[in-house]
């Protein structure tokens, strides 16, 4: 069926039991899934004669099951799972009797360019019969001819692929509708050196080997980082493990080619390993400490999350994206950003006995707090990412016929979301603890997403009897931590009482103080005199 994408193709012998309408329904659902039917025959007839007992109520279909996922030892079993799921959804009695992987990995053929040979000197007499000067002149002519060929001066524009002998014969073949180059052509490799002795593996197999080499080198880098953080014997232990990881990656890189490319692959493996070590140990960043193991694990987690989400969503069709996934994701993200702009500020303000409106946080800082909250909740993507990786490698607990997979996924997702929510609470709680610590020590408190508390001397502009305050009584002789003015109200923090103190902005004047140890010089006598 056009438009259906897949990674693997498995030829499955499917037995459908029932009557003619059941067989027609099976053919219909096969077509809906985009699974071509290669052959069909009655049970006990055709290829199954002498293998299975004859049965008038059963029919066999040779179906090519196509699906996403990696190629490993569970690929054939994954095809059987999909047949079982289809049987359950369609309400048919179907069984996967045999599964065989269809290997269609593409071979990496060497590319060649055709060139003329008319410029080559004609075959002359035996060089042993020539004088030294004649042999030198002939060698110079042959050398110039070879240089012009290698530099592409004699190319005809034709490109062929295959082995050296196949490429030469293809370049001289008379192609219907094309020119007739004849025997006056030869070929040169596109990649520079002739690769007749280099036997590359197939494309997908080579890509899988590259992934494994990179995994070994990343493990080596992590062990090297651990070795740098250790001391004594443990340094040599982790350094030895890192060396073993490099040897494992080098062996895989060495085995990617049968002959001529082994040295180049080893050199490339060494260059990549050196780059990983330079970045992780800080040699190219001027950092004496380099990365820490926690930072390395964070990078691995982020990479795994991105890759797992991609493996999960790549199975969705464009119709599914346009129909519900993209609008739902866009609406959820936008509405969450708009609604959560003050969530962290609300948690922060509630712990100090004020409201977010009393803090008067600029909009850009509300957006920054929303991004912070989204970054905390982004860890909830780790579970679907692991689910996507498990589906890609055909893990048994995420098989389409496993009934406990979805409840386990929901339970894990809820757990991670709760943990991420607690992380958001911890962010505001830590900020409040830092604020209270600074208030006790009379030092400058830290800011929190646009909230800039500072030490201030509060000078009333009205007599004490007319000064209206909520949450306590103002003592002008000592400084307070002020959250600023918002909505005509000044919000202060009374460390002695452990509560917030609020009053009308027109009744006080705020004078910045160096810290909480100064003594504010204020007298009500000046207020009574009208100063």
Q: pLDDT tens for residues 369-401?
A: 766 666 666 777 777 888 888 888 888 877 765
Is the predicted pLDDT of residue 330 greater than 90, yes or no? Answer: no
Residue 405, pLDDT score: 61
Is the predicted pLDDT of residue 127 greater than 80, yes or no? Answer: no
Is the predicted pLDDT of residue 356 greater than 90, yes or no? Answer: no
| Mean pLDDT within 57-65 | 94
Could you say which DSSP state residue 522 is in?
Answer: -
87-96, 465-474, 511-520: range with highest mean pLDDT: 87-96
Q: pTM for this structure?
A: 0.66
Residue 22, pLDDT score: 94
| Length of the chain, in residues | 531
Q: How confident is the model at residue 12 (pLDDT cuts 50, 70, 90)?
A: very high
| Mean pLDDT within 285-291 | 59
| Candidate from 234-238, 257-261, 288-292, 346-350 with smallest mean pLDDT | 257-261
Residue 245, pLDDT score: 93
CB 278 within 8 A of CB 287: no
d(CA 300, CA 306): 10
| Candidate from 205-219, 267-281, 435-449, 511-525 with smallest mean pLDDT | 511-525
Residue 285, pLDDT score: 46
Residue 43, pLDDT score: 92
DSSP 395-413: -GGG-TT-SSHHHHHHHHH
| Mean pLDDT within 91-95 | 94
Longest distance between any two alpha carbons in the chain, whole Å: 128
Mean pLDDT of the chain: 79
Nearest to residue 237, comparing CAs of 227, 249, 225? Answer: 227
Is the predicted pLDDT of residue 461 greater than 60, yes or no? Answer: yes
The more confident residue out of 420 and 291 is 291
| Mean pLDDT within 34-44 | 93
Is the predicted pLDDT of residue 13 greater than 60, yes or no? Answer: yes
42-56, 101-115, 116-130, 197-211: range with highest mean pLDDT: 42-56
Is the predicted pLDDT of residue 223 greater than 80, yes or no? Answer: yes
| Candidate from 182-196, 211-225, 271-285, 432-446 with smallest mean pLDDT | 182-196
Q: How far is CA 233 from CA 229, 230, 294, 509, in A?
A: 12, 8, 21, 65
Q: How confident is the model at residue 338 (pLDDT cuts 50, 70, 90)?
A: low
Domain residue ranges of the chain, discontinuous segments joined by +: 8-101, 111-189, 203-291, 311-428, 454-529
Residue 2, pLDDT score: 47
The more confident residue out of 101 and 107 is 101
Instruction: Provide the sign of the torsion angle of the four alpha carbons 73, 79, 82, 84, taken in this order.
Output: negative
* CATH superfamily for domain 8-101: ACT domain (3.30.70.260)
Q: How far is CA 449 from CA 296, 360, 371, 453, in A?
A: 28, 11, 11, 11
| Candidate from 32-41, 355-364, 443-452, 469-478 with smallest mean pLDDT | 355-364
| Candidate from 226-230, 273-277, 405-409 with smallest mean pLDDT | 405-409
Bridge pairing between strands 454-460 and 480-486: antiparallel
Residue 75, pLDDT score: 92
Instruction: Match 């289809």 to its residue by tokens.
Output: 86
Q: How confident is the model at residue 64 (pLDDT cuts 50, 70, 90)?
A: very high
Is the predicted pLDDT of residue 284 greater than 50, yes or no? Answer: no
């Amino acid at each position: 069926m056009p438009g259906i994408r897949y990674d693997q193709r498995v030829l499955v012998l499917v037995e459908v039991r029932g009557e003619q309408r059941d067989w027609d329904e099976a053919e219909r659902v096969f077509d809906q899934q985009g699974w071509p039917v290669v052959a069909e025959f009655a049970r006990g007839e055709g290829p199954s004669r002498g293998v299975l007992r004859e049965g008038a109520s059963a029919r066999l279909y040779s179906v090519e099951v196509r699906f996403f996922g990696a190629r490993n030892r569970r690929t054939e079993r994954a095809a059987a799972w999909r047949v079982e799921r289809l049987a359950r959804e369609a309400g048919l009695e179907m069984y996967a009797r045999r599964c065989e992987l269809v290997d269609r990995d593409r071979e990496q053929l060497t590319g060649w360019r055709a060139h003329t040979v008319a410029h080559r000197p004609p075959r002359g007499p035996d060089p042993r019969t020539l004088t030294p000067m004649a042999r030198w002149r002939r060698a110079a002519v042959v050398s110039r001819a070879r240089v012009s060929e290698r530099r592409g001066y004699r190319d005809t524009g034709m490109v062929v692929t295959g082995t050296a002998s196949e490429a030469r014969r293809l370049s001289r073949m008379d192609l219907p509708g094309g020119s007739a180059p004849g025997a006056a052509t030869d070929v040169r490799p596109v990649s520079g050196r002739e690769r007749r002795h280099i036997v590359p593996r197939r494309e997908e197999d080579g890509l899988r080997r590259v992934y494994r080499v990179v995994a070994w080198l990343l493990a080596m880098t992590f062990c090297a980082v651990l070795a740098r953080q250790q001391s004594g014997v443990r340094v040599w232990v982790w350094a030895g493990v890192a060396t073993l990881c490099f040897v494992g990656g080098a062996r895989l890189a060495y085995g990617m080619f049968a002959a001529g490319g082994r040295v180049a692959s080893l050199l490339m493996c060494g260059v990549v390993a050196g780059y990983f070590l330079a970045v992780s140990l800080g040699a190219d960043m001027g950092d004496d400490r380099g990365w820490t193991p926690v930072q390395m694990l964070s990078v691995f987690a982020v990479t795994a999350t991105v890759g797992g989400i991609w493996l999960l969503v790549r199975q969705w069709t464009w119709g599914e994206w346009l129909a519900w996934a993209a609008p739902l994701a866009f609406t959820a993200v936008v509405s969450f950003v708009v609604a959560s702009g003050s969530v962290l500020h609300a948690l922060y303000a509630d712990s100090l006995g004020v409201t977010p409106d009393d803090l008067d946080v600029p909009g850009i800082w509300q957006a920054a707090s929303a991004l912070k909250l989204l970054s905390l909740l982004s860890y909830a993507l780790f579970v679907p990412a692991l689910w996507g990786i498990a589906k890609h490698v055909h893990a048994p607990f995420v098989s389409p016929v496993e009934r406990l997979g979805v409840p386990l996924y929901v339970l894990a997702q809820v757990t991670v979301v709760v943990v991420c929510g607690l992380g958001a609470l911890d962010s505001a709680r830590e900020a409040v603890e830092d604020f209270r610590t600074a208030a006790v020590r009379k030092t400058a408190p830290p800011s929190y997403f646009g909230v800039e508390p500072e030490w201030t001397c509060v000078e009333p502009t009205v007599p004490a009897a007319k000064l209206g305050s909520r949450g306590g009584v103002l003592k002008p002789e000592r400084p307070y931590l002020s959250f600023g003015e918002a909505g005509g109200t000044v919000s202060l923090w009374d460390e002695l009482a452990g509560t917030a103190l609020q009053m009308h902005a027109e009744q006080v004047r705020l004078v910045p103080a160096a810290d909480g140890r100064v003594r504010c010089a204020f007298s009500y006598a000046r207020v009574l005199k009208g100063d």
